[in-house]
Amino acid sequence: MRPDDATGTPTGGPGTRPGDASGAGPGDAPGAGSGGPRVTLADLPVRDDLRGRTPYGAPQIDVPVRLNTNENPYGPSASLVAGLAEAVRHGAADLNRYPDRDAVALREDLAAYLGHGLTADRVWAANGSNEVLQQILQAFGGPGRSALGFEPSYSMHPIITTGASTEWIPGAREDDFGIDPGKAVAAIEEHRPDVVFLTSPNNPTGTALDPAVIARIVEAAPGMVVVDEAYFEFARTGTPSALTLLPDNPRLIVTRTMSKAFAMAGTRLGYLAAHPAVIEALLLVRLPYHLSTLTQAAARVALAHRAELLGTVDTLRAERDATVEWLRGHGLKVADSDANFVLFGVFDDRRAVWEGLLERGVLIREVGPPGWLRVSIGTAEEMAAFRAALEGILR
């Protein structure tokens, strides 16, 4: 069982949403209440390799202070909302037609945002970087193939990997949550994975990787290397992106998202940069018209307003650094963070701390190695509420 499983959370099943009065989780079959025999997942002819698995389950609980899924706490301004509404109104007039299947205008905008001399043929987009990662596994993983990642890291990497009938090979990070290049190369030579996942800055630890380490891993890897840079915009000044390594490495893929720094998690827009041949491979597995007209339009408006959206990043970075200091000042162990969250501990009973915070209206995430907890960086008011709640528990 993975450490970030939502088991034992006060909601119903992992799919339960706030306000879902039925409390029905995915285990409750439709019709279960209509008097028929109760059917469970175990009764269905589901794939053998999915039996016994647990879905992704960050709890969605309606509480005053939500600091559990690394969202940007700042909502769009009124003028951005107006821009989005106008783009949707414009796009709505054409909704009888399929969207641009290759999302060319959006990919041009994304390439311009990324810089590094990138062009639309080197950029790909999908519904969140999770879908981008799934397409990568569909194209480069599959039955008889494997993917290796260095844990603790993003829980979706193994879930997407096994969902694509690909074997997951857990590699290890060091005590400081960095990756030892010598050990990483040894693990790659031992397992010969078809895909290697590197997350930088890493979730849930916040650790950024030195591009020299990434370069050594790319050199050793027999297959594709994916650098998940979901949190790149939050990295401390001077931290280079793996995009700098792209020109020499056709087997390198760098993924990004508009869900975190861009404050657009609800839009569902993730993207990647890679060699044009990689994008040709992804075209073989993507569903036609996967990115709706409205998603493409909203993402382009967000990119046009990037000064406003990314304007919150410096505030969040300062709040993050202050949170690290405060937690250390209270005798806690804290991982250095280049992201918009902080991993801290070590608690004998982290569940009790997590529940104590929840009772005080603050939702954080029970994730990472045993004893650690992760708090996303919110507004100054939200972080004050977090500190007050935690102080009440530590006392």
Ligand X SMILES: *Cc1c(COP(=O)(O)O)cnc(C)c1O
Where does this chain bind ligand X (CB under 6 A)? 70, 128-130, 154, 199, 203, 228, 230, 257, 259-260, 265, 270
- CB of 129 or CB of 207, closer to ligand X: 129
Give one DSSP letter per residue of 279-342, joined into a string.
Answer: HHHHHTTSPTT-S-HHHHHHHHHHHHTHHHHHTTHHHHHHHHHHHHHHHHHTT-EE---SSSEE
- CB of 258 or CB of 389, closer to ligand X: 258
CB of 26 to ligand X, least distance (A): 19
- CB of 73 or CB of 128, closer to ligand X: 128
- CB of 4 or CB of 389, closer to ligand X: 4
CB of 380 to ligand X, least distance (A): 23
- CB of 206 or CB of 223, closer to ligand X: 206
CB of 271 to ligand X, least distance (A): 9
Residue 64 CA to residue 248 CA, distance in Å, equals 48
CB of 186 to ligand X, least distance (A): 24
Q: Assign 3-state DSSP to the chain and report helix, strand, coil percentages, each to 5.
A: 40, 15, 45
Residue with the shortest CB distance to ligand X: 128
What's the token pair of residue 129?
A: 């970087």
* Residues found in the chain: 395
Cite the DSSP H helix spans in 246-292. Answer: 276-283
CB of 93 to ligand X, least distance (A): 28
What's the token pair of residue 261?
A: 């720094």
What's the token pair of residue 278?
A: 């990689």
- CB of 9 or CB of 129, closer to ligand X: 129
CB of 128 to ligand X, least distance (A): 3
- Residues 6+ positions from 311 with CB-CB distance below 8 Å: none
